[in-house]
Amino acid sequence: MTDPAAAAWHRLAETSVLLDGFHALKHALRFGAEVPLAVTTDREAALALAAELAPDVRDTLDALLTEVPDDTYRSFVPRPHPTAVAALAVRPAREANLRKLGHTPRSAPVIVLDHPRNLGNAGAVIRLAAGFGATGVVTTGTLDPWHPTVVRAGAGLHYATAVERLTIDELPSGPVFALDPEGDDIRSLKLPDDAVLAFGSERSGLSTELRARTDHLVALPMRPQVSSYNLATSVAMTLYHWSTSTAAPL
Ligand SMILES: C[S@@+](CC[C@H](N)C(=O)[O-])C[C@H]1O[C@@H](n2cnc3c(N)ncnc32)[C@H](O)[C@@H]1O
């Protein structure tokens, strides 16, 4: 007879967001994700972890977590997580995210990743955007910002900001500050709260279409002979620079 948790998992998996590991589930719950199903191979251990690291979600997890055999858990996830916790969450409606991204006046920037290629970078950027309270993260191009590897790298923090894939024509309004080593030194600039902060792809930098939408080209300080920084670290420096001059609460 099929395990009821396995039947529910297979029914929901196709249309849900996989939260892989305790921390992804913890973050998603903190930021209001709807989680119809969460499993673990060891309820007692998972609840002990919650009591230690996240007492705010312990009771929610107590009500939510179903214990399943190790084989069943392993059949749900591509790579078993050390915490042996996995969950399925409802993806936020695109319309709701578009409303958040388009809402004005904006109190924190929108990050645009122009044709990103690396799923780990995209997840790291979503985690940064969540930490700095950015309005959202928009990707252009073919990478799916809700790909399970991106969600795993983002530690479930997709639920703490608005994450969508858009075309350049659909970008939210606001002055576009595009990051490029040829731009003006960021240290001489104040980045406004309604900025659209755009970053180029790991391989080829900013696209022609994005450059055409750009109002200001901005450079991060970098010694000669170093060609560029990693995409996610560039976003980190830029958000940190914005945070030093904003009145927006973090
Ligand atoms: C790995 S870099 C892209 C390198 C790429 N080979 C190129 O031709 O630009 C990814 C993105 O990070 C940002 N970036 C990296 N280093 C930067 C710097 N020193 N100043 C401003 N932006 C930078 C830019 O947005 C860049 O497009």
Whichever domain contains 8, its CATH number is 3.30.1330.30
If 0-12 CB within 10 Å is exposed, 13-18 middle and 19+ buried, where does residue 88 land?
Answer: buried
Distance from the CA of 46 to the center of ligand 1, in angstroms? 40
CA distance 57 to 238: 32
Residue 142 identity (one-letter amino acid): T
Average pLDDT (128-153) is: 96
Report, as an integer, the average pLDDT of 51-69.
97
Show the domain range for 54.
Answer: 4-89
pLDDT digits over 239-249, tens only?
999 999 988 77
Residue-wise pLDDT for 4-31, tens only, equals: 888 999 999 999 999 999 999 999 999 9
Q: Is the CB of 112 under 6 A from ligand 1?
A: no
At which residue do the structure tokens 């969950």 appear?
A: 87
250 within a domain of the structure (yes/no) = no
| Ligand 1 atom nearest to CA at 230 | 1
Q: So what's the pLDDT on residue 13?
A: 92
Q: Do both 163 and 224 map to the same domain?
A: yes
Ligand 1 contact, 204 CB (< 6 A): yes
Instruction: Find out whether the beta carbon of 206 lies less than 6 Å from any atom of ligand 1.
Output: yes
End-to-end CA distance of the chain: 50
Say yes or no: 32 and 75 in one domain. yes
Number of independent structural domains in the chain: 2
Nearest Cα neighbor of 200 from 225, 220, 185, 174 is 220
Q: Among the three residues 89, 123, 158, which one is the final residue of a domain in this structure?
A: 89
What CA–CA distance (Å, rounded) separates 129 from 231?
A: 13
Integer Cα distance of 211 and 209 in angstroms: 5
Do 117 and 230 lie in one domain? The reply is yes
Compute the distance between CA of residue 98 and CA of residue 92 in angstroms, rounded to an integer: 10
Q: Is the dihedral of CA 144, 150, 156, 158 positive or negative?
A: negative
| Residue 1 confidence (pLDDT) | 56
Of 89, 119, 134, the domain-final residue: 89
Q: Ligand 1 pocket, 179 CB below 6 A?
A: yes
Do residue 185 and residue 205 come from a single domain?
Answer: yes
- pLDDT score of 167 more than 80: yes
* Same domain, yes or no: 104 and 70: no
Q: What is the model's pTM? A: 0.95
Question: Which residue has tokens 């279409």?
Answer: 209
Which residue, of 55, 89, 123, is where some domain finishes? 89
Does 27 fall in a domain?
yes
- Asked if residues 97 and 125 have their Cβ atoms less than 8 Å apart, the reply is no
- Average pLDDT value for residue range 103-118: 97
Compute the half-sphere exposure of residue 62: CA atoms within 13 Å on the CB side of its CA: 10
Q: Is 238 found in the same domain as 138?
A: yes
Using a 6 Å cutoff on CB, does residue 219 contact ligand 1?
yes
Distance of CA 231 from the midpoint of ligand 1 (Å) = 6
**Does 130 share its domain with 205?**
yes
Contacts of 22 (CB under 8 A, 6+ apart): 46, 49, 50, 53, 81, 83, 85
Whether residue 81 sits in one domain with residue 184? no
